[in-house]
Amino acid sequence: MTRALFVAGAGTEIGKTYVTAALARHRRAGGRAVRALKPLASGVPPVGDPAFPESDTGRLLAAQDLPLTPEAVEACSPWRYAAALAPDLAAAREGRSLALDDLVAWCRARLAEASADEIVLIEGVGGLMSPITPTATGLDWLKRLNDPRAETLPVVLVTGSYLGAISHALTAIETLRAHALPLAAVAVSESLGAPTPPEIVAEAIRSRTGAAVACLRRGADWSGAFPG
């Protein structure tokens, strides 16, 4: 049984958090334990800000029915930045830095402490190749977490339904395959105002890759089997 999943994006601002939250709600609705984490988060207001519940971290905590306390926020997203930029740029604005080793070690510690029946969802940041440190991308992070000596972390790849989403998704899938990274499923998250229904995008990806593809209207619940 899959004990952990990494939610990666074919691009940025396409619905990774909506999908991660939907997976968490789906798991909890079945009476199973889940821990949804977003270690890196940009564009996050202070915890006491009225806008915080609408942040990525706020949405994930709500999906787990966890309080918006400083402790819960820190446990979900230890690296939070105010600027809505790639983490390396957002950190630099605040005079901070992030080492890939520290990020990987934190994720592995959370995986190690999870109970036998608990699944851990780790949401990435931006797109698959988005920079996260001055020298590393999200792909580097994912590759390190899938070190053969460590537990396998299959990927749920999230794409949108906007014009160009099919190409972006297929490119990301080829990148994962080129690096021997396991793909659990693709999730097409509805892009508001897109000219094509998400179901059509989902079928185009499925027919060209053979991957399991789920389709989610924006903010809707996950339907069907849990990936993995």
Under 8 Å CB-to-CB from 42, ≥6 apart: which residues?
A: 80, 81, 83, 84, 85, 86, 87, 90, 125
13 is in an annotated binding site: yes
81 is in an annotated binding site: no
Q: What is the DSSP letter of 131?
A: B
18 is in an annotated binding site: yes
138 is in an annotated binding site: no
Would you tell me how many other CB atoms lie within 10 Å of the CB of residue 48?
Answer: 8
Q: Is 142 exposed, middle or buried (0-12, 13-18, 19+ CB in 10 A)?
A: buried
CA distances from 98 to 80, 89, 95 (A): 11, 11, 11
Task: Report the C-alpha gap between 182 and 17 in whole angstroms.
Answer: 20
123 is in an annotated binding site: yes
Which is the catalytic residue, given 38, 59, 80, 168?
Answer: 38
Q: Is 38 a catalytic residue?
A: yes
CA distances from 114 to 10, 60, 110, 120, 144 (A): 28, 17, 6, 7, 19
190 is in an annotated binding site: yes
Task: Report the C-alpha gap between 139 and 173 in whole angstroms.
Answer: 12
Task: Report the C-alpha gap between 153 and 150 in whole angstroms.
Answer: 9
126 is in an annotated binding site: yes
For tokens 């190409």, the residue is 167
143 is in an annotated binding site: no
115 is in an annotated binding site: no
> Which positions make up the binding site?
13-18, 42, 56, 123-126, 189-190
> Which positions make up the binding site for Mg(2+)?
17, 56, 123
> Which positions make up the binding site for substrate?
42
Q: Where in the sequence numbering do the catalytic residues fall?
A: 38
